Amino acid sequence: MLGYLFLLVLVASVFGFFFNRFSARREMRRGVERFRSMDLYHGVHAVFLTGLPALLFALFFLSFQGAIVDAVLVASLPADAVGTIDASGMSLLKSEIHSIANGIVFGEPEPWKRDAAAYLNSLSTIAAIALWVGVAAILAGGLYIARRRVFGAFPARERVEAISKWLMIVCAVLAVLVTTGIVASLIYESVRFFERVPISEFLFGLNWEPQIPIREGQVAGFGAFGWIPVFIGTLVITFIALFVSVPIGLLSAIYINEFAGRRLHAVVKPSLEILAGVPTVVYGFFAILVVAPAIRNAAASIGVDVAPNTALAAGSVMGIMLIPFISSFADDALNAVPRTLRDASLALGATQGETVIKVLFPAAIPGIVGGILLAVSRAIGETMIVVMAAGLIATLTINPLDSVTTVTVQIVTLLIGDTEFDNPKTLAAFALGLMLLIVTLILNVIALNVVRKYRELYD
C-alpha cells in the first residue's frame, strides 16, 4: 500500500519535471518574452514543489500516525475496564487489540476488546485515506503552482539553487543529528536506569547479575548491576587480542615496507585487505568452529583445564581480525617518516635492520601508538566475535583461560528479544552502551591527537 503511495509521488514528480520543462520550452520557442532561467530549472522547480513537500508530509504523517491513533484508541476504551491497569498492562492491552484487529484472536476476548479492535481498524482506514488525500492534494497543488510559474520573469534557477542549498545543509546537519540522537537516547535511557540502580553501584559494583524481580518485594531476585567485572572481562579479551595482533601486524608491516620484493608485496597486501574485509560474524563462527576446539585440545594434551568459552579463543580470533588494522597503521606511520632520515642512516653505514630499529621505528612510534589505541577502541566495541565465542556470566578474573564476558556481549544478550524498556535489565544495556561510547570516544580523540601531533613534527 505504502509502496504505491511513494510510487505515486515519484510518478507525479517525474511528470511534473517533464511537463514543466516542456511547457517552458514551448513558451521560449514562442518567443513572446525572454526567459531568465533555462527550461531545466523550471522542471526541477516543479519537482521541488511536488515530490519534496509530498514526501516530507508522508514521512511526518507516518511518524506520528501510530501514536495519535493509539491515543484516540485509548481514549475510546470503556473507563470501567481500563481504570485500574498500569502502563505495562496498557501496552499489553494495546498489543492485544492490535492483534485482534489483524485477525489473530487467541481464546475468546471480551466484547469491548472486539469493539475496540473494530474501532482501531476504522481509525487505521481513516488515517490511510487522510494520508492519500493529503499527498494527492499536495501533489496537485504543487503541480498547479509550478505550472503557473512558468513565465519569463520567474527566477526559477535562483529558487532551485536556494532550495537545493538548504537540502545540502540539511543533509550535512543530519550527520550531527545522528550523533546527537545516539548521545541523547543513550543518556535518556541511562538516566532512567540510574533512577532504579544508583550510579555508584553501577560504576563501582563488583557483581554483575542482571535479573528482573518476578514478583513484588522479592528479596534475592533484583540482581546486581556493577559493571566492573564486565569491564575487566572486556579488557582481558582486548589484551589478548593486542598480544596477538600487535607483534604480527607490526612485524609484517616492517617486512612489507622494508624488505619485501615486489612479488611478495603484491600477494601480501591484498590478502591483508581480504582479512580486513571479512565480516565479524564470520570470525565469530571461525572462533567456535576451529579455534576454541583447537585451544581445548591443545590444553587437554598438556593437562591444563580451560573453560569451554575461554577468553583465549575470542581474544585470539579478535587479534587475527586486528592484524590488518595494526599493519596498515604501522605501514602509514613508517611511510610518513621522511625519506631523508632513512637515507642519512643508510649513508652512515647502518644496515637496513639497524635503520628500521634505531631510526625509522622510533620516529614512527607516535603513529603506531595512535593506531594501537584505535585498535583498542575497535576491540572494545567489537561485538559478534565475543557474542559467539565468549561467555555470558561475569566473573571477576583476569585469567585468560577462564570464561569472561564483555560489555558488548551483555548489551546484546540483555536486549535480544526484549522490547519493553521499563525494567533495569534492559535499561542496563543502555547504561553499558553509554560507557562503551564514552570509552571509545576518549580513545579515538587521544589517538587522533597523537597522530596529528606527530604529523606536524615532520611537516
Partner 1 sequence: MAHPNQLTAMHGPLADNAAARRRAKRGRTDLWLKGAGLTAILIAMAMLGILIGSLVYNGYAAFTQTHVTLQIDIDPARIPADNPADGNYRATVNDALLAQLPDVTGRRAQRDALRILSNGAQYILRDRVVANPELIGGTLTIALPVSDRYDQLHKGYVDRETPETRRLVKNDEIGYFDVLIDKGLISKPFNTALFANADSRFPELAGLSGALWGSFYALLVCFLVAFPVGIMAALYLESFAPRNRWTDLIEVNINNLAAVPSVVFGLLALAVFLGWLGLPRSTPLVGGLTLALMTLPTIIIASRAAIKAVPPSIREAALGLGASKQQTEFGQVLPLAMPGILTGTIIGLAQALGETAPLLLIGMNAFITSPPGDLLEPATALPTQIFIWADSPERGFVSRTSAAICVLLAFLICMNALAIFLRKRFERRW
Rg (CA), the chain: 31
Give the span between the Cα atoms of 35 and 45, in whole angstroms: 15
Q: Tell me, what amino acid is at 360? A: L
The binder of partner 1 chosen from 277, 305, 340, 459 (CB under 8 A): 277
Of residues 54 through 73, those in contact with partner 1 by CB under 8 A are 63, 66-67
Of residues 357 through 376, those in contact with partner 1 by CB under 8 A are 357, 374
E strands of 107-260, at which residues?
A: 208-210, 223-225
- Who's near 76: CB < 8 A, 6+ residues apart? 116, 119
**Alpha helices in 31-110, H assignment, sequence order:** 39-76, 79-82, 87-101
Give the span between the Cα atoms of 136 and 289, in whole angstroms: 56
The binder of partner 1 chosen from 11, 153, 173, 206 (CB under 8 A): 173
The DSSP letter of residue 32 is S
The binder of partner 1 chosen from 56, 145, 178, 393 (CB under 8 A): 178
Minimal distance, residue 395 CB to partner 1, in Å: 22
Measured CA to CA in angstroms, residue 88 lies from 84, 225, 419, 420 at distances of 12, 23, 12, 8
Minimal distance, residue 217 CB to partner 1, in Å: 29
Of residues 392 through 451, those in contact with partner 1 by CB under 8 A are 408, 411-412, 415-417, 419, 421, 429-430, 433, 436-437, 440-441, 444-445, 448
Cell 577462564: give the residue.
402
Size of the site for partner 1 (CB under 8 A): 94
The binder of partner 1 chosen from 7, 56, 129, 169 (CB under 8 A): 169
State yes or no: residue 92 binds partner 1 (CB under 8 A): no
Contact letters for partner 1, residues 251-270 (x by CB under 8 A): xx-xxx-xxx---x---x--
Contact letters for partner 1, residues 314-343 (x by CB under 8 A): ------x--xx--x----------------
Strand partners, 223: 210
φ, ψ of residue 225 to 5 degrees: the values are: -125, 55
Minimal distance, residue 426 CB to partner 1, in Å: 9
Question: Do 442 and 270 contact (CB within 8 A), yes or no?
Answer: no
The binder of partner 1 chosen from 89, 198, 353, 362 (CB under 8 A): 353
Longest dimension (CA), the chain: 97
The binder of partner 1 chosen from 32, 87, 175, 220 (CB under 8 A): 175
In the complex with partner 1, the residue whose CB is nearer, 27 or 161, is 161
Burial of 170 (0-12, 13-18, 19+ CB in 10 A): exposed
The binder of partner 1 chosen from 232, 384, 390, 450 (CB under 8 A): 384
State yes or no: residue 121 binds partner 1 (CB under 8 A): no
State yes or no: residue 278 binds partner 1 (CB under 8 A): yes
